[in-house]
Structure 1
Amino acid sequence: MFDYIIIGAGSAGGVLANRLSKDPKNQVCLIEAGSGDNSLIVDTPGAFGVHMFWRKFNWGFTSQPDNSADQRSHFCPRGKGLGGSSMINGMVYTRGHSSDYDAWENLGNTGWGFDDVLPYFIKSEDNSRGKSEYHGKDGLLTVSDIPKNYYPLENVFMEAAQQAGLPLNDDFNNDQLDGVGNYQFTIRNGKRSGVGSCFIRPAMQRSNLTIISEARASKLLFEGKKAVGVAYHQSGETKQVYAAKEVILSGGALNSPQLLMLSGVGDTEHLSQMGIETHHHLQGVGKNLQDHPEVPLVYKSLRKDGYSLSSIFPRVKEGLQYLLGKNGPIQNSITAVGGYYKSSDDVAVADVQIHFLPLMFADHGRNIEYLIDHGFSAHVNVARPKSRGFVQLRNNDPMADPLIQLNLLSHPDDMDVLLKAVKKMRTIIGMSALDSHRGEEVFPGKHRQNDEEIMHGIRQNVSHVYHPVGTCKMGQDSMAVVDEQLRVHGLESLRIVDASIMPTLVSANTNAPTIMIAEKAADMILSAAKGV
């Protein structure tokens, strides 16, 4: 018996485990399906692409064929282990624009406007730039600038963007999105600074925190409408643990709705089809899935000063630099450069995000032919998509993967934004600063010039940016799953704390917002326990 059970040791669950166990009176149990191990690959910032092939710390889901994307399925990596997706992500630290959070509040979620959530972003941060209006210095999460841009292509791209009219932006987290520059990252002294290393491992010495790893939750346990525990599979056995105060679901936007449905919480019609008796009807469970639709503009390079697997000596040198002193480009994320711009002059706030890579990159880095060649790629995504997908069960087997339908371009406005984004990025790459590097345009390709041809290419190449949210959304309408306190509607002692509660996707990489959600939820939970 514990006071609190947290299901999932990802970016939200890890923060909760730390904050709730800080009080020695709270007995906290953290259950994680993945391993409790760490590894050099996890710690090495420049090695995160390896996780696209190595599944120890990656669920490696695959979506259903997408009608809006040429009937293609999509690879959906999600972190598995102590730290969740913060173990395998690109470490980019962005929050989005203030209007994203004000929109949450305008949907009826009191206390979730930007002024309400900013203190929680600041609380978690230990920013290398020090304390300011938008940044914190005393938090557990290291946020830092990269030492330098090691690949000439990175600086040349930023110069081209400025020639095209984008300003240089040195902080995408001060509510000014427009521009190009270097992102900040969750990296400390050349090592990944994820939730595992910053929140979970420092708390592991506490006697009141119990971590159960390699344990896959299979069902929530209820007494009437009250959540009292969880059943899980570990080492071939089914075990149970119980909570005196609350059960907190932090499995993420794909796994959290899956566990709810396996437990009989969801849309009755779907549960019946899966042979599951309904314990509590909530039709919004698994609905409202959102991710950032993205396409890469890929070019060959006339020079060999980017990253390529064909250049063996530079790669060996970089490896030695890192192993011997945490120096060189491997101490950086390969996504060092990026930014935002408006798809048109009619847009009030930038609606396109950029991730620039000094290599040819497509199919989540699994296109080895691209990686061997010399080139670069500029990935553009729809920052606030309107398309919606869903998560369902494949069957009633708790060991099965969830069924994921992304529907990336199901709303015509998202295609319109991507089309404009591609055309604008073509203009940027056509600037004189890139003349000495710009080679053949691999995608969209010079054969695609008019809108119909470009849109056809987008449908053939669109993917996502690993930012699934929204499947247990916060709100008061008929499709909402949790209220503004993150309590599941109609049930007791059960909260959901992860990216699934976002009613709408923010214009950012979602790791920082997920950590913020957990920081805010921890205060809610502790206040509730005190009767405040």
Structure 2
Amino acid sequence: MEVDYVVVGGGSAGCVLAARLSEDPAVQVALLEAGPPDASVLIHCPAGLALLAKNGQANWGFETVPQPGLGGRRGYQPRGKVLGGSSSVNAMIYARGHHADYDAWAAEGNAGWSWDEVLPYFRKAEHNERGADAWHGSGGPLNVMDLRSPHRFGPIFVQAGMQAGFRENRDFNGAEQEGVGLFQVTHRNGERCSAAKAYLTPHLARPNLHVVTGAHATRILFDGRRAVGVAYRHERTIQSVKARREVLLSAGALLSPQLLMLSGVGPAAHLQEHGIPVLHDLPGVGRNLHDHIDVVQVVEAPHLTDLFGLSPRGIANALKGIVEWRRHRSGLLTTNFAEAGGFIKSDPAEPLPDLQLHFVIGKLMDHGRQTVWGHGYSCHVCLLRPRSRGSLLLASKDPLAPPRIDPNFLADADDLRRLVRGFRVMRDILAQPVLAAFRGREQAASAAAVSDEQVERFIRGHADTIYHPVGSCRMGSGPLDVVDAQLRVHGMQGLRVVDASIMPSIVGGNTNAPVIMIGEKAADLVKAAREPVHATREAVAA
């Protein structure tokens, strides 16, 4: 097969690229996704994410290398392996980050990435059911709405935050981010609105859009330093697709740098260690990996049987919820579990919110993989702007082997200090009268952490990712940067990276909406470039 553009990865950015580029009927687009189609009801039913977490379906299920900052534990790194990528398995929170995050990108020399310049792409992507205004769009592919059947405990958490001294915020994506409130979610008519549902599904019948699932990219094909195609494994055979114009990597912060290195683009010494011929020594590939570190406090409340949990009453509630969702797409199973939260400061002197809270209407243990009996609620606190930086390296030259993932959590002492403060703030909110009236009991593991040293030990023993790895193909013009402000790989032709890996620094919030924005902006960059068609050599596919 030969097309104009090959998109590697059917996640959030890849779905946007494939849909936007194929709007021109004269352009042929191929999208390669390693996972299956997004057919499972567990994807489309919002509460199905709880079972997806337990059964590992549609998930790469990676692990980190042992993390010294976490007491030698291996962290969990779930990433979507399905059309829609992580937007098909995430908690559906619509959050853009702080305006200052994007201004900082631009201040580092990345022209076109300031807040004022990316806001139009957020608005273009969005159909907000509240209506359009200066901050929000209407008519875009991605449906954003308030929860259809919110649980009673979300507003109670918001009240607790206000009792603790934080202001209510009804729109975290408006003029100001700071405060506590209910999250908007990427739902449509009681179902998950993933990037696949928003961008790809409506256009699968386009004759110029070729979507191949079960296609694991193994190598970028080059003619000199020009990317001219992609080799991929499909149904146990190696196949290839040629790109007349560009190859666009949207495999995510863990797999885009891996594919570059497997193809000979990356740190020369590291590639040579694995016997990979060096096409281009680009030392920044895989550097600058970082992520939101997060820790959870769990509160036991066995008498609150309307909260999610395993008990006779909880099972009866779930069965009732299944019937209501199937008939009306409403009720208990429309939850995203993390219905409320906030963006707050660990210290009033901080210039920006440096913590995010996610309040969960159930007891969350081990990323939801652990079966927990009884009822209760949980709260996450995550550090929004960690200073720690890690790396993504090859573990093997086998393209089917997972990469070596090292976020280097809590390597910088400032990260731990802030997270300790954040844990105390979270605990204070959960102790406010409106929640204390329900007589919940903090689980013993965290309740025993009283002094700063004890809280530090609890954090090192229990903290982990909240699923936002970024930065491993950093955008910029420095010696360790990988792509320029047009997202073109330095030193190469016909090759861009379009996903969370290009973020110079992580945004202060959930990363799905920003990645969709990146895809929208990149589609315009690619269209504007419209590189001439290049003849490809048959030999590159060999």
1:254-308 Cα shifts (integer Å, max 9, x gaps): 0100100100111011111111111101111111111100001111126323111
CA distance in 1, matches of 2:270, 2:491: 19
Deviations along 1:378-408, one digit per CA (max 9) or x if unpaired, are: 1000011111111111111011111111211
Please show how residues 404-423 of structure 1 align to structure 2 within 5 Å.
404-423=405-424
Question: Does the CA contact (< 8 Å) of 2:475 and 2:504 recur in 1?
Answer: yes
Q: Which amino acid letter does the alignment assign opposite residue 339 of structure 2?
A: A
Aligned to 2:539: none
Residues 373-382 or 495-504, more deviating: 373-382
Structure 1 residues 449 and 56: alpha-carbon distance in aligned structure 2, compared to 1, 3 A threshold: closer
Deviation of 1:332 after TM superposition, in Å, equals 2.2
- Are the aligned partners of 2:38 and 2:84 in contact in 1 as well (CA < 8 Å)? no
For residues 376 and 97 of structure 1, the distance between their equivalents in structure 2, rounded to whole angstroms, comes to: 27
Contact 1:141 1:198 in 2 (8 A): yes
Deviations 1:476-507 (A, max 9, x none): 11110000000000000000001100010001
- Structure 1 counterpart of 2:244, which letter? A
Inter-partner Cα distance in structure 2 for 1:7 and 1:138: 27
Identify which range, 232-241 or 93-102, moves more after superposition.
Answer: 232-241
SS of the aligned residue for 2:66 comes to: coil
The amino acid across from 2:351 in the alignment is: A
Which string of whole-angstrom CA distances, capped at 9 and with x for unpartnered residues, describes residues 90-119 of structure 1? 000000110000010111101100000000
- Using the alignment, how far apart are the partners of 2:24 and 2:85 within structure 1? 24
How far 1:24 sits from its partner (Å)? 0.4
Report whether the alignment pairs 1:323 with 2:351.
no
**Structure 1 residue aligned with 2:368:** 365
Greater shift after overlay, 331-340 or 501-510? 331-340
2:9–2:32: 8 Å Cα contact kept in structure 1? yes
* Whole-Å separation in 2 of the counterparts to 1:303 and 1:100: 42
2:356 aligns with: 353
Paired amino acid for 2:368: G
Does the 8 Å CA contact 2:87/2:194 hold for their aligned counterparts?
Answer: yes
TM superposition score normalised by structure 2: 0.95
- Partners of 2:54 and 2:238 in 1: how far apart? 30
1:291 matched residue in structure 2: 291
Q: Helix, strand or coil: the match of 2:288?
A: coil
Q: Is 1:40 paired with 2:41? A: yes
Report how far residue 55 of structure 1 moved.
Answer: 3.4
**1:470 match:** 471
Deviation at 1:459, TM superposition (A): 0.5
Q: Is the CA contact 2:476–2:482 (under 8 Å) kept in the aligned structure 1? A: yes
- Contact preservation (8 Å) 2:222, 2:229: yes
Decide whether the 8 Å contact of 1:8 with 1:251 is kept in 2: yes
Give 1:185's aligned residue. Answer: 185
Q: Deviations over 1:353-390 (max 9, x none)?
A: 0100121112101121xx31221111000011111111
> Identity of counterpart residues, as a percentage?
44
Q: For residue 443 of structure 1, report the CA deviation from its aligned partner.
A: 5.8
Contact 1:297 1:444 in 2 (8 A): no
| Contact 1:298-1:443 at 8 Å conserved across structures | no
For structure 1, the residue ranges without an aligned partner over 5 or more in a row are none
| Aligned-pair CA distance for 1:530 | 7.3
The answer to whether the Cα contact below 8 Å between 2:149 and 2:330 also exists between their aligned partners in 1 is: no
Give the deviation of 1:51 after TM superposition: 1.6
Query: Is 1:461 matched with 2:439?
Result: no
Counterpart contact for 2:148–2:190, Cα < 8 Å: no
* CA–CA separation in structure 2 for the residues paired with 1:36 and 1:112: 32
Q: Is the 8 A contact 1:298 1:444 kept in 2?
A: no
Quote the residue 1:480 is aligned against.
481
Moved more, 296-305 or 485-494: 296-305
Corresponding residue SS for 1:211 = strand
Structure 1 residue matching 2:55: 3-state secondary structure:
coil
Rounded to whole Å, the distance in 1 between the matches of 2:201 and 2:59 is 20
Secondary structure, aligned partner of 2:425 = helix
The corresponding residue for 1:114 is 115
TM-score (norm. length: structure 1) = 0.97
Partner of 1:433 in structure 2? 434
Residues 275/438 of structure 1: CA separation in 2 closer, same or farther (3 Å cut) = farther
Deviations 1:422-460 (A, max 9, x none): 111111111111122243221653322111111111100
For 1:254-269, list aligned pairs within 5 A: 254-269=254-269
Residue 90 of structure 1 aligns to a residue whose secondary structure is coil
Q: What's 1:4 paired with?
A: 5
Task: Give 1:36 shift.
Answer: 2.3
Aligned amino acid, residue 424 of structure 2: K
Query: Equivalent residues in 2 for 1:26-425 (5 A)?
Result: 26-150=27-151, 152-301=152-301, 303-304=303-304, 305-310=306-311, 311-368=314-371, 371-425=372-426
Q: Does 1:516 align with 2:517?
A: yes
- Quick check: 28-37 or 46-55, which moved more? 46-55
In 1, Cα distance between equivalents of 2:274 and 2:53: 31
Shift of 1:37: 4.3
SS of 2:440 mapped into structure 1: strand
What secondary structure is seen at the aligned counterpart in 1 of 2:74? Answer: coil
Deviation at 1:54? 2.8
- In 1, Cα distance between equivalents of 2:56 and 2:449: 36
- Taking the aligned partners of 1:56 and 1:161, their CA distance within structure 2 comes to 35
Which stretches in structure 2 are left out of the alignment for 5+ residues?
533-542
Report the Cα distance in structure 1 between the residues aligned to 2:168 and 2:223, rounded to whole angstroms: 57
Task: Report deviation, 1:511.
Answer: 0.5
Amino acid corresponding to residue 394 of structure 2 in structure 1: L
Aligned mates of 2:486, 2:246 — CA distance in 1: 13
- Letter of the 2:197 counterpart: S
State whether residues 299 and 438 of structure 1, in contact with CA within 8 Å, keep that contact through their aligned partners in structure 2.
no
Deviation (angstroms), 1:214: 0.6
Q: Is the 8 A contact 1:296 1:443 kept in 2?
A: no
CA shift digits 1:25-81 (9 cap, x unpaired): 101111111112412111001111222233341111111110100111112111112
In 1, distance between residues paired with 2:132 and 2:123?
A: 9
